[in-house]
Structure 1
């Protein structure tokens, strides 16, 4: 696994964007903790993340390129006014083809993120969502620094954008239909 800083990513921006488009698995920073991601349109890549996380059935969330993407593909809600921010909005999905089927696993909703973080510029450049889920096996502690990355995950990851230890908690889950907020 190649470890890159923000500066190194910026210097190799086009190359990294192409790798993400092609479907590599990678670790990225967020405004909360580290996530593991891939192109959310590529079924094979999404399934690989499920395998690595040992999470066969639960839906995954996506980091979207823009609010416009949400407005086009999900039922709009006033909670959008809180983005960008440390939230995962569980929203009714209008366009089932906007993500690979294994992202939602038959659900009618999609977890969407638009973090207040510089990496949002990378996702915006892609113009499609990436899977974003905590970079750990299901049930294990969240990855907050390089030293606690699971060995099995590390061997399957192409690259990681690292910006030091994260002190935050995971994003809050907001079910916009039920108007429920869940801390994780």
Structure 2
């Protein structure tokens, strides 16, 4: 199966409110439409995760991020431009579905409430195109036209799997679609997602409303 066919199948599941198991620029993740509250709750239930904890999202670019954040701090633009490794930025002022912020930006939609932290912030990463997983994510998000939930493919409290072979049967059987471990490129043959992923979680940087920068995970 080629990557275009895989993206088409995953996209269909996402648009129907389903959840998927998919490769990212870091580790394999469980994902769904970040604007669909019901789908997000499915992800939380599968992971047995506390609903008070927020989720990381993936976006295609800063333009997409800007649609779901009140104001992007200037430092965030600098961080994205100079960054050469997977980095999640926690932004203040997330726009939730049907919120006043969404109306002010001329949109009737926003993020699902369950992806936003109690302080109104949300973590978003723009995958750097340095791996097959990152290419897959960017193409999928571009087609979805919304951010994609990206949480590690494990039950909450258990070790996060760094490769597909480490993902539990419970997780694999609990999603609506599993992206194949590999895809076919006509000129190169079979490409495995695990072969180019970092196999570890991203850095996390939290930005404050006044421009403060705090390193959460390095």
Paired position in structure 2 for 1:76: 72
* Greater gyration radius: 2
Paired position in structure 1 for 2:203: 172
Q: In 2, Cα distance between the equivalents of 1:12 and 1:28?
A: 10
Stretch deviating more after TM superposition (170-179 or 90-99): 90-99
Residue 133 of structure 1 deviates from its aligned partner by 0.8
Residue 108 of structure 1 deviates from its aligned partner by 0.8
The answer to whether the Cα contact below 8 Å between 1:65 and 1:126 also exists between their aligned partners in 2 is no
Q: In 2, Cα distance between the equivalents of 1:36 and 1:114?
A: 16
Q: Which SS does the other structure have where 1:39 is aligned?
A: coil
* Alignment coverage as a number of residue pairs: 178
- Calculate the TM-score normalised by the size of structure 2: 0.73
- Calculate the TM-score normalised by the size of structure 1: 0.86
Is residue 2:172 matched to residue 1:154?
yes
Deviation >6 Å, runs of 4+: none
Partner deviation per Cα, 1:67-115 (whole Å, 9 max, x = no partner): 1121232221222333375111110124222211111154310111111
The answer to whether the Cα contact below 8 Å between 1:66 and 1:124 also exists between their aligned partners in 2 is no
2:43 to 45, 49, 56: 49
User: Which structure 1 residue ranges, 5 or more long, are not aligned?
Assistant: 1-6
Q: Which SS does the other structure have where 1:124 is aligned?
A: helix
Paired position in structure 2 for 1:128: 146
